[in-house]
Amino acid sequence: MNRTGIGTWEQINPFLAEASKITGVPLVAANDVHYLNQGDQLAQETLICIGSNKTLMDENRYRLGSDQFYFKSPEQMRALFQAFPEACDRTLEIAERCEIHFKLEDDEGKPIYHLPTYPTQGGVSLKDEMVRLSREGLEKRIAQAIQRGEEINEEKRAEYDKRLDYELGVIDGMGFNGYFLIVQDFIGWAKSHDIPVGPGRGSGAGSLVAYSLGITDLDPMPYNLIFERFLNPERISMPDFDVDFCQENRQRVIEYVTNKYGEASVSQIITYGKLQARAAIRDVGRVMGMTFGEVDVVAKLVPEKLGITLKDAIDEEPRLRDLMETDPKVNNLMELAQKIEGLVRHAGIHAAGVIIADGNIISHAPLYRGTEGENVVQYDMKHSEKIGLIKFDFLGLKTLTHVNDALKLVEKNRGKKFRTEDISLTDKGIYQVMCKGDTAGIFQFEGEGITDLIRKAQPTCFEDIVAINALYRPGPMDMIPDYLARKKGEKKVEFLFPELEPILKETYGIVVYQEQVQLIAAKIANYSLGEADMLRRAMGKKIAEVMAEQKTRFLSGAKENQHDLKKAEELFDTMAEFAKYGFNKSHAAAYCVVA
């Protein structure tokens, strides 16, 4: 039974009561809720108009027909259904029957992940398969390096083996063997079917196991790329490989995993587009029938701050307050816009994320069919991960398509066939071309501003290009003049401690990368690299209490190493200042390989 104030329902209710007596089927009181407060009817109808592209004045628009579609209190429901108290009681009975349990942790308190079991041959364990493929892959990588003329002596070889064994131990201990095997499998399939794959993206490029398995194509060892930036043994969370595929063939890789693990186990992920401050004003203004010019004046008075709310905008901008006070139409616009601000405007599909699960995904989450008939999980990325569903990122990158087309043209016109990995990162010709400013079409380096920076910096090696890529971003840009002065010898490069030189030499004493923060903490204050990753995160978030704890820990470690505490404190403060802008070196390096 519903009491909505609409005549049809009021006529139906007596019939339902009579039918209940005749059939013995109990009555249930229902509250048809469309919005929270009774005064929100107009806001709800405005939201409907936004979704249906109509105006409030449109005679054919949808109307609720009553202001009773709000969330009523138990007392209000009892009053509405006072003739049928048992109908209200029955809602409690139904609620008590409802049971849903998300088992998010196992008996040891570890997160449960719904990851498919990677198929191995002959009953081989996932651990043994990982070890075998990783060691075979490393042997192949080292052989290729030697063939390219790189020197791998016994000492360096021992470093590779030690790092590989360490990473394998961490991955196995955290239970992620299956995840790595699944990723290497679909990347391997793509490469074997001539689908270009990026050399890496994000912090995953810091893993030697990933490099050995062919997940990434940049050796992390020569560039001080850190595994713990990707997978921290002291902070249990799922690894997350972002993988770039040729734009034209990305869907083929998704089809491969769908066929391998079953359609019921593979799904896209929903995204919810929410109404932000300016968008809310523009949408409400259109629905109210205001002209573009009228709405534009109001929208542009909202300060351009990330995440700003309309309430904040009204508090901060006197011109907006004045307009609201003098123009009733603007006042109504702002009142309505504030009511719908932050609500979902539309749903879409995540551009890259694909869930691969152990069995039928619908056992874990609700699904719907996308426009192409594909499964789409109705939990967004954040909530999907909370219940243990694992997202794999299949990104489409046009640059990989362009590079592949260029290689085909070289073969066609020059009769020479080669792969991108055959291009040496030490080829001086690369840097000579870039120093001239000939950067048109070069991935991430073709804009006027960054081209000007390249001309000024005159890069001569891969490390220089990586630093430029990391610095040319909002925030780190402030460090560019200092970087250039040091690189050109106009400013002396000094290190607070001699131990910092190997870490900061390539960036001329400036902390540019997040990984440098980790290495400094490990070297100066005896942090493990996992612990240093927690320090890096704390510096990025700037939580005063956590920062105070970390500073005490850092100075204690520096004291153990018999370092000057005044200098150590200066170093910590310098790191904290730079860390808020510090960039992920693994990502910058991998994308510079693409460039």
Assign 151 a pLDDT band (cuts: 50, 70, 90): confident
The pLDDT tens digits of the residues spanning 295-313 come to: 999 999 999 888 899 999 9
Assign 62 a pLDDT band (cuts: 50, 70, 90): very high
The pLDDT tens digits of the residues spanning 40-59 come to: 999 999 999 999 999 999 99
Q: Specify the pLDDT at position 412.
A: 92
Q: Specify the pLDDT at position 453.
A: 95
pTM of the model: 0.85
Q: For the chain, give the percent of residues with pLDDT over 90.
A: 80
Domain ranges of the chain: 131-227, 275-343, 426-594
- With a cut of 90, say whether residue 101 has pLDDT above it: no
Mean pLDDT, rounded, for 241-245:
94
Q: Specify the pLDDT at position 350.
A: 93
Average pLDDT of every residue of the chain: 92
Mean pLDDT, rounded, for 391-408:
93
**Higher pLDDT pick, 579 / 359:** 359
Assign 233 a pLDDT band (cuts: 50, 70, 90): confident
Q: Specify the pLDDT at position 60.
A: 92
The pLDDT tens digits of the residues spanning 521-575 come to: 999 999 999 898 888 888 877 777 888 899 999 999 999 999 999 999 999 998 8
**C-alpha 571: how far from its chain's center?**
31
187: nearest Cα among 254, 124, 238, 141: 254
Q: Specify the pLDDT at position 358.
A: 92
The pLDDT tens digits of the residues spanning 353-365 come to: 999 999 999 999 9
Q: Specify the pLDDT at position 466.
A: 96
Contacts (Cβ under 8 Å, ≥6 apart) of 244: 197, 198, 201, 395, 396, 397, 400, 594
Measured CA to CA, the distance from residue 58 to residue 74 in angstroms comes to 36
The pLDDT tens digits of the residues spanning 163-204 come to: 999 999 999 998 999 999 999 999 999 999 999 999 999 999
- With a cut of 80, say whether residue 341 has pLDDT above it: yes
Mean pLDDT, rounded, for 237-263:
93
Q: Specify the pLDDT at position 396.
A: 93
**Higher pLDDT pick, 109 / 139:** 139
CB 20 within 8 A of CB 58: no
CB 3 within 8 A of CB 14: no
Q: Specify the pLDDT at position 582.
A: 84
Q: Specify the pLDDT at position 100.
A: 82
Q: Specify the pLDDT at position 578.
A: 81
Fold of 275-343: Arc Repressor Mutant, subunit A (1.10.10)
Which secondary-structure segment (H or E) carries 353?
strand 344-356
Between β-strands 344-356 and 391-397, what pairing exists: parallel, antiparallel or unpaired? antiparallel
Q: For the chain, give the percent of residues with pLDDT over 70.
A: 100
